[in-house]
Each structure stands twice: as C-alpha cells, then as structure tokens.
Amino acid sequence: MNETIHDSAFDSATHNDGDCVWSYRGYKLDKDNFVTAMIHLYRAEITRVNLWRNRLDTTTNWAVVTTAGAITFGFSSPQNPHFVILLVLMLVLLFLNIEARRYTYYSLWYHRARLMETEFFATMLVPPFQPSSDWGDALSDVLRHPVFPISHWEAMGNRFRRNYAAIFLIVLTSWLLKLIVHPIPITGFQEFVERAAIGELFSGYLVFAVVLMTYLSLVLVTMEGYRRFRRRGVPRRDEWQRKGPRWFKAETVPNLAIIVTTKKAEMSARLMKELQRGVTALEGMGMYTGETRSVLLCAITDVQMQRLKSIVREVDEDGFVVVTQARDVRGGHFAAQEPPS
C-alpha cells in the first residue's frame, strides 16, 4: 500500500487506508485525532495568551504602586523635593516601554488563537460548515514564522491610551500641586516657575519644557498608533505574507462578491436569507451580446465564500461571480480587530 507524506498537517485528502488526514514516518492521524490535536494546540495558545495577559497586569501594577508611593512621599512633608515625582515619571515611562514589549507578544499569541477560533471552530456553527480554503496555510505560516502583528510604537500608543493615560495625568497633577502648595502656597507665576528648578543646573523653564515635550510625545505616539490601526483595517493577504512586518488576518476578512445574473430577485433573496448579508443591485449590459444583466454586489467573509458560490450555481447556471478581497469594509460585522486589554 502506497503512503503519501503530506507537507501540510491540514490536508483534507484521504488515503487508501481509511480516513487518514496526516501521516509522517508511519504515524497516522485520522479525522478524530486531527481534531483532538487542534484542540490541544488551541488550549496551548490560550495558555500563552493568559500568561502574557497576566504579565501586562503585573507591569501596570508596578506603575500604580510606584506612583502611589512617590505621591505619598512627596506630600508627606513640605521639605520633600518635588523632583521625586519627576523621577517616578521616568520610571513609569520605563514601565510603559516594558509593557509595550509584552503587549507585542500578547498580540502574537492572541491573533494566533483567534485565527483558530474564527477559521476552525466558528465554521462548525454556520453553513457551509467548512473553513476557508487557505486557513491551513495561514495558520501554518504564523506557526513557522511568528512575527509581531503590531510595532513597538503602536503597542506603546495602545497601552498609553488604554491604561497609562490616567497614571500620567495623576503624576502631572500631583507634581503641579506639589509646586503650588509646598513649602507654602505660591503668590505668583514667576515663583511657580522658580520652584520647578532642580538645583542650579536645570532652571524651572527647562524643567517645564522637558515635561511638556514628554507629554506631547506620548500624545503624538498614541494618536499616530491609533491612526495606523484604524487606517490599516483588515490587511490584504499579500501584506501579511510579505517579508518584513507581517499582518495577521483579522476576525473577519471582507470580500466583495460581484454577481452577474438574470435572476436578480431569487438570487438576492437567497443571499440575504442564507448569508445574512445585504445585497446591492445594479443594472448592466453585456457589451458582446447586448443583453441586459443584473449586477449584484455583496460583502462576505471567507467563511461564506463557498456557500455563495453554491447559491449562484444553484439559482442561475449561466450566472457567474467574481470575488475579490476588499481593502477595507466599515459597518456591520466588518471591523478591524485589536487585542483586548
């Protein structure tokens, strides 16, 4: 009996010896064992997600405890120097940098787990009850070539927007309040600036300028990172397959189906009922035959692609469909995906 060794563990072809879907050096996996292997892989990925999620919480706790301790020390006595709070600001910046690095790892495991959830488990629940044709290649690629789905700077902006903005605001407010009330309440703006000085080397104006530049930089990094995320939307496959930075498939990959048919009403009704997607009808004309045709536009996901083709084939044997991946789709269930905090 001839045996074939598959290059991919996701090949659904059967062998002469039954339901074997994967073989390697005499070891064989049938369909049940294949699903079991996928379940164990999913559990391992979820464990990694939880591990790095806990590490994110740990770094945030460091920042909170350090800030609370510095504020308590700074206001415990009028003679305690104000620059202690600025030192804490530097420490919180360091914690933010560490957390951004951890967030890139967390995003890596999260996207890998989501790929299995959306392309393997979710397809068991809706027609046509089969994953997209290239989901095995996608999962194999991220397993063999793990690359962070977001940059370090995007991660910093994300963590600042979600967690650290409040901490930095408390540090800034505490520092300004320390300058205003200690050792005695200020009487004018010039005295306020003079109190911000650190020794004779750093004048008050210089200290204020550095603090202002720090906060403006954080805001700019946050805005730019969020802008890139919103603009990126759902990436094309050639973008996350290219060398260098790779993007991972988002929760729902949008595709635009263009259907040319003479049975507009029946085709639209089935698409809206069975796929739960809206349909837009346009009137077209075949330039070779001169005959009038209806052109239907429908945004679908990869999971629904096979079902759409089946509907077109069943309703109109002479109709045809062109499916192209959309660069971005907004509204409904189509949205760019971002790992939760």
Phi and psi torsions of 134, nearest 5°: -110, 15
Tokens 């074939």 belong to residue: 4
Domain map (residue ranges) of the chain = 35-241, 254-325
Per-residue pLDDT of the chain (341 residues; tens, 9 = 90+): 344 333 443 344 434 455 776 776 777 778 888 888 888 999 999 999 999 999 999 999 999 999 999 999 989 988 899 889 999 999 999 999 999 999 988 988 888 888 888 888 888 887 777 777 667 777 887 787 777 888 888 888 888 888 899 999 999 999 999 999 988 888 888 888 888 898 888 888 999 999 999 999 888 888 887 777 666 544 443 443 333 333 333 334 578 888 998 888 898 998 888 887 889 888 888 887 778 888 999 888 766 777 888 888 889 888 888 888 765 555 554 444 556 65
Token code pair at residue 8: 């991919």
The closest of 117, 120, 110, 118 to 146, measured between CA atoms, is: 110
How much is the pLDDT for 18? 53
Tokens 């550095």 belong to residue: 210
Token code pair at residue 23: 């073989």
Based on DSSP, count helices (H) and strands (E) in the chain, helices before strands.
10, 6
The closest of 103, 73, 77, 95 to 85, measured between CA atoms, is: 73
State the Cα–Cα distance between residues 9 and 287, nearest whole angstrom. 46
State the Cα–Cα distance between residues 338 and 230, nearest whole angstrom. 10
Q: Which CATH number fits domain 254-325: 3.10.450.710, 3.10.129.10, 3.30.70.120, 3.50.30.10?
A: 3.30.70.120
State the Cα–Cα distance between residues 246 and 179, nearest whole angstrom. 47
How much is the pLDDT for 47? 92
How much is the pLDDT for 145? 77
Residues in the chain: 341
State the Cα–Cα distance between residues 334 and 341, nearest whole angstrom. 20
Q: How many other CB atoms are found less than 10 A from the CB of residue 107?
A: 21
> Helix 83-116 and helix 152-159: axis angle, to 10°?
110
Beta strand extents in the chain (DSSP E only): 22-24, 27-29, 254-261, 280-285, 292-301, 320-325
Strand partners, 22: 29
The closest of 327, 50, 79 to 182, measured between CA atoms, is: 79
How much is the pLDDT for 331? 54
State the Cα–Cα distance between residues 327 and 75, nearest whole angstrom. 54
- pTM of the predicted model as reported, rounded to 2 decimal places: 0.62
